């Protein structure tokens, strides 16, 4: 029995050494700083915000001129084009009006330098589209800020979970030492004939169970460390160890905001900016029925030789255009944007209701966790006292091994439950801070 247990312990020890040979301590502040600076998901959100901002800046074209320059060459003997080209090149002579020359001209080269300018004056649909693009950019900025707040909450939650795992490891290691002491006690009593072989088997099974729990807990620590490295945008390295313990409760637990929802949260601001964007989209679709006014102008130089000539001309003017009917496209665009606006408003109200319910629940979770911590601590003390009494009676031969192991297991269970309640309190506090965070 002893050799078998020794073999199992050696295997588990190899696993422990591989997990704990390199550790890196890290504070919550350091973890938050690295995550906010290097998290790849957050970087993607920042790039998306940049894209939306560039789209908003691109919409400034509704006010800016469009300039196009070209230089072209052509050769023709088409009577009409030849005469027109001569006019543009300002080389018409009296002989050019001869009927034979008009009807059968020689081929002629034409070099043309042309600059065209179009200046928007009044395009109402474009103005509203610009406002919609700016609102979308603002919504994207608020989404980025909200992403940072959520990442902060996520990091705090995972850090508390890491604290929980290390605290649980201490409990399990302590429980293992207690079980080892019980193994020695039962073996000594067995030599004296006070216990049965089955008693020795039971305590060894309990010891193996503890070793399995410790190994699983260490694996969970390594997995969580890898997850935190990913959040920090780094490759997995040493096992992370928190610089503080789970027992350190956030100082804000007694200063939490009331249960009223803060409407200036970035996620709610993003929703409202999205609604503004949709309102402007609806206005833009309606404005397609309004006329457009644009100014235009052009300047050109013509010659029969390359890069030469002073035969220039210009034209300036204004254009009023009005798209009176475009099938049902404009009408359907209005209907579509109207429905989309109603959907966005309903989604916002639904999100408000859901957020208020989440905040109310988080406050109740804090109150519940505080009450459960007191009860869990009381239950732990009772379990410890029960085990102490049971062990004394066991040493006197007045208790069964099964009952001793049951009380030993109860101490471990109650201690882990106490730590779990501390973890739940921390998460609830962090969640309230997240739900009530504003600029």
* 3-state secondary structure at position 410: helix
User: Helices 28-38 and 124-191, interaxial angle, to 10°?
Assistant: 140
The total number of residues written for the chain in this structure: 439
For residues 89-109, average pLDDT: 86
The mean of the pLDDT values for the chain is 87
Structure tokens belonging to residue 79: 């009577």
The predicted pLDDT at position 2 comes to 44
Nearest to 271 by CA among 355, 347, 376: 347
* Reported pTM: 0.83
Mean pLDDT, rounded, for 194-206: 78
pLDDT at 243: 93
Q: What is the distance between the alpha carbons of residues 309 and 327, in angstroms, rounded to a whole number?
A: 48
* The CATH number fitting domain 2-38+123-288+330-435, selected from 2.40.30.30, 1.20.1600.10, 1.10.10.10, 2.40.50.140: 1.20.1600.10
Nearest of 239, 162, 242 to residue 423 by alpha carbon:
162
Q: Is pLDDT above 50 for 111? A: yes
Tell me the β-bridge partners of 108.
76
Reply yes or no on whether the pLDDT at 139 is more than 90.
yes
Other beta carbons less than 10 A from residue 72's beta carbon: 9
Question: Given a cut of 60, is residue 11 above it in pLDDT?
Answer: no
- pLDDT at 188 > cutoff 90: no
The pLDDT value recorded for residue 408 is: 78
pLDDT at 194 (0 to 100): 65
Closest CA to 222 of 211, 208, 244, 237: 237
Is the confidence at residue 384, as pLDDT, over 50?
yes
- Helix (H) / strand (E) element for 314: namely strand 311-321
Give the pLDDT band (50/70/90) at residue 1. Answer: very low
Percentage, residues of the chain above pLDDT 90: 56
User: Contact at 8 Å (CB) between 12 and 172?
Assistant: no
pLDDT for 124 beyond 80: yes
Distances (CA, A) of 147 to 13, 42, 154, 403: 42, 7, 10, 52
Higher pLDDT, 281 or 105: 281
Comparison of pLDDT for 39 and 8, the residue scoring more? 39
3-state DSSP assignment of residue 243: coil
Paired tokens of 358: 């989440």
Which residues, 6 or more positions from 232, have their beta carbon under 8 angstroms from its beta carbon? Answer: 31, 34, 35, 38, 39
Question: Measured between alpha carbons, how far apart are the two ends of the chain, in Å?
Answer: 65
* Burial annotation 81-118 (CB, 10 A radius, 16+ → b, else e): ebbebbebbeeeeeeeeeeeeeeebeebebbbbeeeee
In the predicted structure, residue 32 carries a pLDDT above the cut 90: yes
| Residue 8 clears pLDDT 60, i.e. is over it | no
Query: Does the pLDDT value for residue 293 go beyond 90?
Result: yes
Give the confidence band of 253 by pLDDT, cuts at 50, 70, 90.
low
The conformation of residue 109, written as its DSSP 8-state character, comes to E
The answer, yes or no, to whether residue 210 has pLDDT greater than 80, is yes
Residue 112: φ, ψ to 5°: -130, 120
Question: For residue 7, is pLDDT > 80?
Answer: no
Question: Which region among 13-27, 37-51, 101-115, 163-177 has the lowest average model confidence (pLDDT)?
Answer: 13-27
pLDDT at 300 over 80: yes
- Please tell me the predicted confidence (pLDDT) of residue 251: 63
CA nearest 224: which of 177, 169, 176? 169
Cα separation, 185 vs 196, in Å, equals 13
67: enclosing H helix or E strand: strand 66-76
Q: Select the more confidently predicted residue: 33 or 323.
A: 33
Mean pLDDT of 162-180: 91
**Contact (Cβ atoms closer than 8 angstroms) between residue 259 and residue 359:** yes
Kindly give the residue spans of alpha helices, DSSP state H, lying in 90-123: 99-103
Name residue, tokens 């020695």: 184
Residue 256 pLDDT class (50, 70, 90 cuts):
low
Q: In this structure, are residues 428 and 365 in contact, taking their beta carbons and an 8 Å threshold?
A: yes
Binning pLDDT at 50, 70 and 90, where does residue 17 land?
very low
What are the structural domain ranges in the chain? 2-38+123-288+330-435, 65-122+292-325
Looking at residue 439, its pLDDT comes to 60
| pLDDT attached to residue 306 | 85
Quickly list DSSP for 381-397: HHHHHHHHHHHHHHHTT
Q: Where does 87-188 show beta strands of DSSP type E?
A: 108-122
Among the listed ranges 9-23, 129-143, 162-176, 246-260, which one has the minimum average pLDDT value? 9-23
pLDDT of 167 over the 50 cut: yes
> What is the model's pLDDT at position 334?
92
**CA dist 257 to 47, 147, 268, 437, Å?**
33, 21, 18, 10
% of the chain beyond a pLDDT of 70 = 91
Token reading at 270: 């993003």
Q: What is the CATH number of domain 65-122+292-325?
A: 2.20.200
Distance CA 19, CA 12 (A): 11
Which of these ranges, 42-46, 66-70, 249-253, 320-324, has the smallest mean pLDDT? 249-253
Q: With b meaning 16 or more CB within 10 Å and e meaning fewer, what string describes 15-42?
A: eeeebeeeeeebebeebbebbeeebeeb
SS3 content of the chain, % helix, strand, coil (to 5): 70, 15, 15
Q: Give the pLDDT band of residue 164 (cuts 50, 70, 90).
A: very high
């Amino acid at each position: 029995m002893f050799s078998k247990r020794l073999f199992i312990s050696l295997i588990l020890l190899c696993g422990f050494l591989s997990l704990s040979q390199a550790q890196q301590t890290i504070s919550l502040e350091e973890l938050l700083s690295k995550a906010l600076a290097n998290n790849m998901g957050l970087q993607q959100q920042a790039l998306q915000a940049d894209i939306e901002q560039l789209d908003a800046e691109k919409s400034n074209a509704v006010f800016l001129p469009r300039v196009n320059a070209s230089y072209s060459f052509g050769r023709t003997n088409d009577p009409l084009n030849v005469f027109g080209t001569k006019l543009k090149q300002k080389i018409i002579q009296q002989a050019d009006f001869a009927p034979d020359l008009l009807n059968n001209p020689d081929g002629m080269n034409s070099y043309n330098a042309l600059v065209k300018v179009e200046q928007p004056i009044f395009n109402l649909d474009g103005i509203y589209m610009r406002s919609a693009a700016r609102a979308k950019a603002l919504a994207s900025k608020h989404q980025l800020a909200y992403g940072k707040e959520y990442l902060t909450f996520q990091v705090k939650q995972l850090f508390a979970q890491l604290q929980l795992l290390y605290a649980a490891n201490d409990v399990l290691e302590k429980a293992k030492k207690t079980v080892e002491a019980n193994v020695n006690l039962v073996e000594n009593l067995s030599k004296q004939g006070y216990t049965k072989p089955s008693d020795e088997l039971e305590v060894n099974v309990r010891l193996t169970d503890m070793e399995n729990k410790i190994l699983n807990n260490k694996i969970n620590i390594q997995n969580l460390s890898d997850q935190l490295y990913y959040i920090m945008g780094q490759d997995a390295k040493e096992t992370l160890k928190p610089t503080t313990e789970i027992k350190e409760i956030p100082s804000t637990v007694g200063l939490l905001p009331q249960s009223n929802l803060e409407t200036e949260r970035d996620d709610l601001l993003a929703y409202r900016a999205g609604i503004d964007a949709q309102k402007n989209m609806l206005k833009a679709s309606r404005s397609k029925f309004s006329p457009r006014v644009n100014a235009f102008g052009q300047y050109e130089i013509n010659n029969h030789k390359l890069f030469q000539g002073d035969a220039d001309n210009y034209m300036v003017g204004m254009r009023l255009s009005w798209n009176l009917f475009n099938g049902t496209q404009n009408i359907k665009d209005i209907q579509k944007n109207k429905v989309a606006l109603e959907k966005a408003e309903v989604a916002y109200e639904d999100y408000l209701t859901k957020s208020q319910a989440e905040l109310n629940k988080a406050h109740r979770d804090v109150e519940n966790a505080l009450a459960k911590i007191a009860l869990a601590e009381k239950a732990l003390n009772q379990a410890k006292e029960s085990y102490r009494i049971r062990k004394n009676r066991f040493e006197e031969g007045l208790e069964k091994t099964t009952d001793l192991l049951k009380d030993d297991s109860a101490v471990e269970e109650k201690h882990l439950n106490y730590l779990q309640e501390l973890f739940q309190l921390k998460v609830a506090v962090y969640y309230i801070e997240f739900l009530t965070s504003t600029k």
